[in-house]
């Protein structure tokens, strides 16, 4: 099941926290760590959603057993995704991986966040074949899919990306802050 959250709504970060918790509870296995794998490039406006979220989380998360890969300073992208995925499985074998990436979608979903169980297929919107990653995934729909997807990502409004990133980050922080209260 895929959950859609309109990032422009007042309670969107609370909804993201709620749906993230719901997806995490579907993975009651033997995981003992959370890994946020934030995918994208800081060189393409529409693709910098993941690294920007990673940058924000790295500065604001202070819980043990929660790790962040993919930031503005050290992005995870098509050229190093497989290597970083192998490293995560090696360093964090008991982890639940939450993959985060920008995506393209229908016009009616522009500015929406999706949260779902299952792997993320990064690069699918721009016809790149990359390995699936994550146990749960979060995407921010930064622009409309159609023709010339790579150009579409390059000409995506930064304000859309920042707004989505801020909302997703706050949703994740709302979820992790609820862990402190337990």
Predicted confidence (pLDDT) per residue in 55-81, tens digit: 999 988 877 889 999 999 999 998 999
Q: Is 60 helix (H, G, I), strand (E, B) or coil?
A: helix
Concatenated DSSP letters for 128-179?
A: -----B-SEEEEEEEEE-SS-HHHHHHT--HHHHHHHHHHHHHHHHHHHHHH
Enter the CATH code of domain 2-177.
3.40.50.1450
- Kindly report the number of other CB atoms within 10 A of residue 33's CB atom: 16
Task: Please tell me the predicted confidence (pLDDT) of residue 1.
Answer: 84
pLDDT digits (tens, 9 = 90+) for 81-118: 999 999 999 999 999 999 999 999 999 999 999 999 99
Is pTM, for the whole model, over 0.85? yes
Delimit the domains of the chain by residue range: 2-177
Name the average pLDDT for the chain. 91
Helices (H), 26-131: 49-60, 81-91
Q: Decide if pLDDT at 181 tops 80.
A: no
Q: How confident is the model at residue 38 (pLDDT cuts 50, 70, 90)?
A: very high
pLDDT digits (tens, 9 = 90+) for 143-179: 988 777 777 788 899 999 999 999 999 999 999 988 7
């Amino acid at each position: 099941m895929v959950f859609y959250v309109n990032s422009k709504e007042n309670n969107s970060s609370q909804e993201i926290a709620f749906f993230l918790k719901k997806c995490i509870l579907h993975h009651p296995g033997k995981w003992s760590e959370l890994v946020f794998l934030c995918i994208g490039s800081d060189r393409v406006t529409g693709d910098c959603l993941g690294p920007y979220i990673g940058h924000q989380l790295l500065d604001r998360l202070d819980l043990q057993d929660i790790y962040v890969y993919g930031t503005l300073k050290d992005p995870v992208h098509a050229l190093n995704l497989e290597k970083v995925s192998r490293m995560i499985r090696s360093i964090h074998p008991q982890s639940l991986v939450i993959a985060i990436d920008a995506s393209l979608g229908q016009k009616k979903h522009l500015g929406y966040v999706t949260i779902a169980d299952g792997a993320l297929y990064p690069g699918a919107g721009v016809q790149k074949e990359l390995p699936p990653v994550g146990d749960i995934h979060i995407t921010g729909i930064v622009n409309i899919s159609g023709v010339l997807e790579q150009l579409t990502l390059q000409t995506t409004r930064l304000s859309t990306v920042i707004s989505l990133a801020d909302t997703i980050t706050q949703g994740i922080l709302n979820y992790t802050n609820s862990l402190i209260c337990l």
